[in-house]
Amino acid sequence: MSVQVSQRGKEYLEAARTLLQTAKSMSDQVIANRLTALAQDYELRAVKATHADAARALARSAARAENERWAAQQWA
Write out the DSSP string of the chain.
---PPPHHHHHHHHHHHHHHHHHHH-S-HHHHHHHHHHHHHHHHHHHHHHHHHHHHHHHHHHHHHHHHHHHHHHH-
Residue 10: per-residue pLDDT:
95
With cut-offs at 50, 70 and 90, classify the pLDDT of residue 1.
low
Distance of CA 66 to the CA centre of its chain: 27
pTM: 0.75
- Predicted pLDDT of residue 34: 97
- What pLDDT does 14 receive? 97
pLDDT digits (tens, 9 = 90+) for 21-61: 999 999 999 999 999 999 999 999 999 999 999 999 889 99
Find the radius of gyration of the CA atoms of the chain.
20
- Name the residue ranges covered by the structural domains of the chain: 7-75
